[in-house]
Chain A
Amino acid sequence: MFPFTYTRATSVHEAIEAGERGGRYIAGGTTLVDLMRETVERPSALVDIVGLPLSDVSATPRGGLRIGALARMADVAADPVVRQTYPAVAQALELSASAQLRNMATIGGNVMQRPRCAYFRDVSAPCNRREPGSGCSALEGYNRTHAILGTSEHCVATHPSDLAVVLTAFEATVHLVGPEGRRATPIGHFLLPPGDTPDQEQDLRPGELIVALEIPPLPRPLRSGYLKVRDRESYEFALTSVAVALHIRGGVIHTAKVAAGGVGTIPWKLPAVEQHLVGRRPSPDLWGQAAERAADGARPLVHNGFKTELLRRTVERQLRIVGGRS
């Protein structure tokens, strides 16, 4: 670990001031401290934000859901409002990490978490995300767990968060406050694919702080769920995962929200799948046809070719699980 200073922010204002001066926010620390130990992260000043009053979870007036950035993963997963209105959120959280980590980790930190790519996390390996221009070791290296969508020649690491897949499916908004005031941006714009600038992971300006994530109201009745496929039963990142929400009325799908995890450099929205579903009647065939479109544009690497087919099947399965009871 490189030496650093540590201060505790007592107000959002104070935090942002410190952030603007180059301070790095630390919430649960479950991503940041690990990476500091590996010297992947070398912040010179930490600003602890866990004491800030940003952990409320509440229904919004029109039936959406607002989750404070500092709410703990475990608390959000257990929240009755969350479980009732957006069970997919609770499912994604409960399938994440371990109970101990979920007790520490926050929602803001979860969306901000950094890649799990072995080369990124090993400072002796070239990595464009860590050191732009040094090269991507995963491209020609071992890439079983890497992305097949949204990749570039500079980086192929997946975005590891489960929750962010649900937030992406539901087109959540990221609420930010920074030196220039408040702003809100769709999560689909907030998380950035690597492109030519793999070191820029978010649309986050200096000193900006996530204050909340907001899921917009979705038409009811709504069925939603999250499915995670992995080698072991617990405590592993996704090989593939899918978040699905369907609004079915009069036997017809009126709204479909679908996104996939474990396959994209950012949580991967699947508009082609959504479009195929809308206006149609649920049926096993429909799930299969829609899922056929899930891996459109996939560019598999040497070791992750199986993800293309696995993704389609994961989508098909989860469409059936969520929409099948019609």
Chain B
Amino acid sequence: MTPQPAPQPARQPQATVGTPRSRVDGRLKVTGQARFAADHGPADGIDGIVHAVLVDATIGRGRITGIDTRAALAAPDVLTVIHHGNAPRLPYRDNSFPDSIHPPGERLRAFQDDHVRFFGQPVAVVVATTLEAARHAARLVEATYDAEPPQLDLVTAPAHEPDVYTRGDAAAALASAPVQLEMTYRMGRNHHNAMEPHAIVARWDGDRLTVWEKTQWVADPRNELAAVFGIAQAAVRCYSRFVGGAFGNSGRTWVHSVAAALAARELRRPVKLVLSRRQLYFGIGFRPAYEYGVRLGSERDGRLTAVVHDVRGETSRYERHSDDLALGRMLYDTPHFRQDVRLVPLDVNTPTWMRGPGWSTTATALETSLDELAHELGIDPIELRIRNEPADDPATGQPFSTRRLHECYTTGMREFGWHRRSSRPRAVREGDWLIGMGMAAGAYPAESAPAQAHARLGADGTVVVRSASSDMGPGTTTSMAQVAADALGLPMWSVQFQLGDSTMPPAPVHALAWTMASVGSAVQATCDRLRRKAVALAVGDDRSPLHGVPADEVVVRRGWLHARADPRRGETYQQLLARNGRTHLEAVGGYEPPEEIRYSMYAYSAIFAEVAVDARLGIVRVRRMLGVFDAGRIVNPKLADSQAHGGMIGGLGQALLEHTVTDPRDGRILNANLADYLVPTNADAADIRAIYIEGVDNEAAPIGVKGLGEVVQVGVAPAIANAVFNATGRRVRDLPITPEALLMPR
């Protein structure tokens, strides 16, 4: 099943890729020198910034009947209040895929009509010369409404036509299955809660717009703002050098960015707008809530014969955000499978991607249902999964490029001490605590997208590589420098990777765990090209010690170009450039995914959790977690650990804590702050460990990676839920699992 390894383009030794490296920008970040979107100002040549604050609707649906701005305008330092009554009509040109990642529908517009579509929708923007004045004046704007009761009930609201996937005859197979189970799982709405709030500084110079924006894709604000204002994409420039966490919430450009750019245009002054923590609960997207029905049919030995998924997921009324819920189609060898996914339009703002989008949602339903089946049949949950392990992708029939899930299981069992788990629930007790272990599997597509890069070798022997990617936290700036350093045969410190400027060579949205596969491959190709250029210059230069050596026989180590056979015969990049009177050498290059994909390519996870549940008080504490990942090559184990630990802690939140609460009467979000929306604290995240199964996947990407950032959260929540069952004997099918669900009778 192991495919032929693709030929490696570079025969360069690997010196930094695969080694643990600290973030190259770590010092900047911990000393406060890294400037995030809202930090931009005079130091970047942006003078005379004024401050914008949004006014949010306080009804769940309806119309604005009036906006009284007199008190706001009379307050000191206030410059303007823009709302639908005085805002210019904006062109709002279409901006659809691939220029944007908007879901289908009509995007929310800034102050273009009197409709209120959800609680918190911006109805006006106040601009003042100080932030305090703008905030205060925003409170003084009096909007009146004609309110209607919003539709907010995922379970009872009418749904769109289902999106149906089917293979075999699931209904018939289910009916004749010797073992049948039926369950419904519910998952609460989650918000990303990145540390950095969304922020933008917008400045017009004539008809040209520059924005410093929090984004996972500098092309998106550029394209969206160009479309909204009816100007050329080239007339907009977006910078985003540092991002303080995003988890998917900064993939698309939200309406507040338009509001800021609009205010800047009206006032002819640079405008800064930062969403408040509260506004982050309705001003940007979220992981939608789901109701996820599962029916399983199996043989007595546990082999699945039929799986049916009936899913309802929330979206807004104006756009259709759909997560990719395909995990159930490919994880197990299920001949008969049917999945109906219904989007339910509600009076909410549009959801968006959130870490492990879709895949972690389906994992919760699928992997809990497998645990239920294992219990029903008295089969060990891992054994059950192994019995259903497919030979080829059951959805496409394609061979897997690499699938080391079985190895993830066996490694996890050994390292976690799975043999100590009691198959009988509620069998292990330590004082007041019931102890249980659970596990779950997961997968996430190993995808890639076209990307380009530019590399420039200077006369001093240092290199700058650039690509319009972003770094929302995984350490892209660091890992790309590692890839470039190896391709160029340089130490890491002499390579700098720059990103976050829309005029750089294009890169895809920094999401879907595909940046290393896409941009990393582009960086490698570009740097290979640059190295070969230098080598060609050397071997063709009769003053070079390398003159006449076949180019293929030249390698570079620590900046020393030399003949492979004779390391002493060589020279440095500096010597080469100086002698040839070159100020620099440069190369552009890129990566294109293959047109035809012949393999089924995924990263895999096996997550193990041990929980303690207070038998009488119902509180759950995760004692330890182990994630075993098959993610192909690991470029930087230190950064990988911070990804994996963060993803697993995110999954812990999904399982036990995180739930955005909406008031059904008016759509008000009741925990729109970090005191009431509970994310795990350090005390909740005790003992967390990640193991990476060794191996590269050369089908998935030229640099052998399958992507790690998403799969690390897939399977975590069900592993914890399954451990709670093992501890207590109580199956909780609603996430998050709260003490009230576990207050067991005496």
Contact = CB atoms under 8 A, between A and B. Distances in A.
Interface of A: 1-3, 39, 116, 118-119, 122-125, 137, 140-142, 229-236, 239, 306, 309-310, 313-314, 316-317
A234 B684 contact: yes
12 contacts: A125-B668, A141-B663, A142-B661, A231-B738, A232-B681, A306-B740, A310-B618, A310-B743, A313-B617, A314-B617, A317-B432, A317-B616
Given A231-B656, A234-B682, 19 more contacts: A1-B136, A2-B139, A3-B136, A39-B139, A116-B676, A118-B670, A142-B661, A229-B739, A232-B656, A232-B657, A232-B684, A233-B681, A236-B675, A306-B739, A306-B740, A310-B739, A313-B616, A314-B617, A317-B617
B671 interface: yes
Contacts of A140: 665
A306 B741 CA distance: 9
B678 interface: yes
Counting chain A CB atoms within 10 Å of each CB, the highest count among B663, B681, B743 belongs to B663
B119 to A, nearest CB: 9
A234 B617 contact: no
Contact of A239 (B58, B656, B675, B739): B739
Nearest to B686: A233
Contact of A124 (B58, B661, B740): B58
A124 to B, nearest CB: 4
B372 to A, nearest CB: 24
Interface of B: 58, 132, 135-136, 139, 432, 616-619, 621, 656-657, 661, 663, 665, 668, 670-671, 675-676, 678, 680-684, 738-740, 743
B678 A231 contact: yes
A232 B136 CA distance: 34
Contact of A118 (B676, B678, B684, B739): B676
A241 B239 CA distance: 49
A317 B432 CA distance: 9
Contacts of B671: 118
Nearest to A314: B617
A316 B746 CA distance: 13
A149 to B, nearest CB: 17
Nearest to B58: A124
Nearest to B740: A306
A231 B740 CA distance: 10
A314 B619 CA distance: 11
Contacts of A239: 739
In the A-B complex, the 10 residue pairs with the smallest Cβ-Cβ separation, listed nearest first, are A306-B740, A124-B58, A233-B683, A234-B683, A118-B670, A234-B681, A233-B684, A313-B616, A142-B670, A235-B681
A229 B676 contact: no
Nearest to A307: B740
Contacts of B683: 232-234
Nearest to A117: B670
Nearest to B678: A232
Nearest to A121: B673
A145 to B, nearest CB: 8
B743 A2 contact: no
A236 B657 CA distance: 11
A314 B621 CA distance: 17
A1 B668 contact: no
B743 A309 contact: yes
A73 B680 CA distance: 24
Contact of A233 (B616, B621, B676): B621
Nearest to B59: A124
Contact of A236 (B618, B661, B678): B678
B507 to A, nearest CB: 37
B704 to A, nearest CB: 39
Contacts of B58: 124
B619 A229 contact: yes
